[in-house]
Amino acid sequence: MDKSTEAILAFALGLCVLAAWYGEFRLRWKTGAAEGFWPGTTLAPAAAYFMAASGALLITIAEAGVETRFDVSTTQSHLPLVALLGLIGAAITEEAVFRGFAAPSHFSGRKLLCLILGGSAVFAAIHIDFLDFNPHDEKQVITLLFEFVTAVWLYFARFNPLNPTRSLLPCFMGHIVRNLAVFGIKWAQGFVN
């Protein structure tokens, strides 16, 4: 399957997830009902959104800086312009899975720490070609490290005092900002067709 088709399918899946999530959010907003099937269907204070987005942006800038420092920024893959849609869709779907379904809002203490570390390791592993991973390839190691840090940050966006209702909206925002920033950097470096 080519990258354009993958991007369109990822975007379509993300739209379906977001529509279903928003349907429950709207129902809860109108009726005050308890959380149903979709996790994190609440609002968060403005500070939670700002924190999630600014942290994701700083992580992306740091990753670009490390790639430049180790002179691996030229080894990136090329993306078609339509990949931007796929990155947005993937962010929504991944947040619903990793920070939503796989992260019960009542977790705290050691359970939450184990969830964050284990979930972040899995999240990082799916963002690299794990079967073709070479620990001596600086680009792959940098990608793995920053995907892990990103995942930890996105868990923090859900499980922190600025987000007392454990809303997924700051996670959606942080992940979308991260993916848009990655796309923007790739575009600026000439890796978007």
* pLDDT in the model for residue 75: 81
Tell me the average confidence (pLDDT) per consecutive run of 10 residues in the chain, 193 residues long: 92 98 95 92 97 98 95 86 96 98 94 97 90 88 96 98 97 98 94 90
Which contiguous run of DSSP H or E holds residue 8? Answer: helix 3-31
Cβ atoms within 10 A of the Cβ of 184, count?
Answer: 14
Say how far apart CA 193 and CA 112 lie, in whole Å: 41
Sign of CA dihedral 98, 104, 108, 114: negative
Q: How far is CA 90 from CA 8, 17, 135, 163, in A?
A: 10, 10, 26, 23
Say how far apart CA 58 and CA 128 lie, in whole Å: 21
Say how far apart CA 126 and CA 130 lie, in whole Å: 7
pTM more than 0.85: yes
* pLDDT in the model for residue 146: 97
